[in-house]
Structure 1
Amino acid sequence: MRITGRGLVFDATAVEGPFRVCSFDSLLQREDGTLLVSFRRGTAKDSADGNGVICESTDDGESWSVISEGFVTEFEGVPGEVRSVELAELDDGRLLAVLLWVDRSEGDGTLRDVESDAMAPMHLLQEYSADGGRTWGDRRLLKREVVLSGPVVRLPGRGWLVTSEFSHGQTETAGRFHGAYAHFSEDGERFEATVDVVDEDPDTFFYDQRQRCCPRTGRPVAMFWTYDVHAEADIEMHMAWGAAGSLDWETPRSMGMAGQIAMPIPLQDGRLLAFYVHRHEPGSLRLVASEDEGLSWDSENELVVYSSSGLGEQGISDETTYDEFWEAMGTWSFGHPTAAVLSDGSLLLVYYAGADETCLSVHWARVEI
């Protein structure tokens, strides 16, 4: 594997004014080859003014233009922010946008209250576009009180899968626990009852699931940033293969590698790649391959796609508490790896990064595999 090109989807350093923090990016490859990248843009990673921006490329990622500056941020009369946007193309050519909306009626960017261990109200909304993502409307509520987690997955011959998660705070009668979920729709319009991707677990949190469908077998595969609640520390990344027909997944198993968010990239030739966040030193984004569906990984030959120039990320030491871990997330200066397989078989990788958390751009890299 080797990098054959690099560039910027959106250059935050060229922005005049305070809206210089881009994060939570995602990538959609349309049937005609058009690429769309959505990302959050705000004055900080955790601020009340975040909104989703969409950029388009019609030349395999060589050049990009902004086609949508944002969505309506008020919902049910309550001020909020659009924290992340995941896109999908429906059978009739329309685009579906699934939005993570966060209640910002308190006027600040707090996500989690330390005293109560409660999250700000968050809901999944859906909107549609008939002009390639330039304008949006027909807003609907998809699911209340969950967090959007990873790209919308097209299950061939079945429909679309939206994935989510939620951290349930500690109360006087129960400890905190975390769930990873999926919401299925046959037509991209009506989403059915929620199913568990991972059973709710008070001991291990399976964060930030990313799912992709294998082009060879049709099976979805999920990867998880995994956290040990009692140790208050990240553990090895986990993964699970699923069944598209029954919408159930294996019990997640360790990938044998330290990391956080990981994007699975199943290939037609049977290989499985993972584009993942290597948050511990040296901070980087890496691409690694497996020849046996993730039972083992060729870590010796993994490709470093991005290396952080900072002094080191906060919140990754063994002494970090759960509260400090949450606070540190707002300072991280790179992340959210995503990918598309281009028509020539190469990969387009997209992620956010910057010198520090006050100015973050959206980057791309092309990799020959």
Structure 2
Amino acid sequence: MKTQIAIIGAGPSGLCLALLLSQKGIKSVVLERQTRDYVEARVRAGILEQGMIDLIRHAGVGGRMDKEGLLHEGFSLVFDHQIKRIDLAGLSGGKKVMVYGQTELTKDLYDKVLQDDNIQVIFEARDVLPTGFFDNKPTISFIANGEPQVLHCDYIAGCDGYHGASRAAVPKDRLREYERVYPFGWLGLLAETPPVHEELIYVNHPRGFALCSMRSHTRSRYYLQVPLTDQVEAWSDDAFWHELRLRLPEPYASTLVTGPSFEKSIAPLRSFVVEPLRFGSLFLVGDAGHIVPPTGAKGLNLAASDVHYLSTALIAWYEAGRQDLLDRYSETALRRIWAAVRFSWWFTSVMHKFSDDPIEQKIQVAELEYLMRSQAGQTTIAENYVGLDFAADFV
């Protein structure tokens, strides 16, 4: 079996990359360990930056997103009995974010990808092993339908997440990993209830962080900071709603609409970056190369910028024989990645409870009060939240 680009991972980043390449006639084979139903059902991100929105439209799958997605021009910070709104649009030159669940985005991508003659998706591909990428002879061996398979290609895009085969195939002495693990997790709940507010609410509270989000006008997504030792089974719906009310200010606590959950999980928080992102003919994309805490809503959006840079570089190679953008992929992507890691770390550090030391929250409140009095401070938050621009010189 042979193709131009082998893509490991059929999540949003792998699918979007395949579509962007297909527009220029570049063929790809996408290997996915799970079934389509499994991938589509995964509950993931829901906040799209402007860059991600533009990328999805460019890939030709923005119709339902533009019709059903919720554009947000701001969000609220709650701390020390205060409610302060960050005017994203006003402070960032009109930029906004969009609420559109990753599950819905993945469905849209599959609907188009599976009809594209330039793209072949192989589900339930097991024992995936990339080799030869340092020798300019990239090959992927795998098992599909119980039979060993070998895929030869020009380049490999590793879009298979933190636990995937792509980064694992790179010898440890050829990369450097940076990691910070946070001492708490997010207990998330999805419910068919109207959101408590039309915009997101981030809460700094002595009992711990909370976030009020949504997926639509009728579906809410809420989070509570919990210890890593907590088990999701120990949290009943009633216990979750009770704790959320304790952390919310009036009037939100009294107007919160509760109901049975249909998804509940605990996600650990970490910052993780690997350098470089290119290893010969193998390129790491998205969570395969970096993880950020969800506080800044950067995970999926960082994958989008990786896809933008890699698709641009591959198209330049196939259309004009240019090697320079492929050579610059890693350093260009990493500049934006580290900027997002910094913002996500800062937002996490100022909004979460790290200890019972009372001085900690006093310092957090003092920092938040200063930022809310400063237009420059609010602008810094807004610009980072809506997403920094893609590198203008990567053309």
- The TM-score normalised by the length of structure 2 is 0.26
- The TM-score normalised by the length of structure 1 is 0.27
User: Which structure has greater strand proportion?
Assistant: 1
Higher relative contact order (CA 8 A, sep 6+): 2
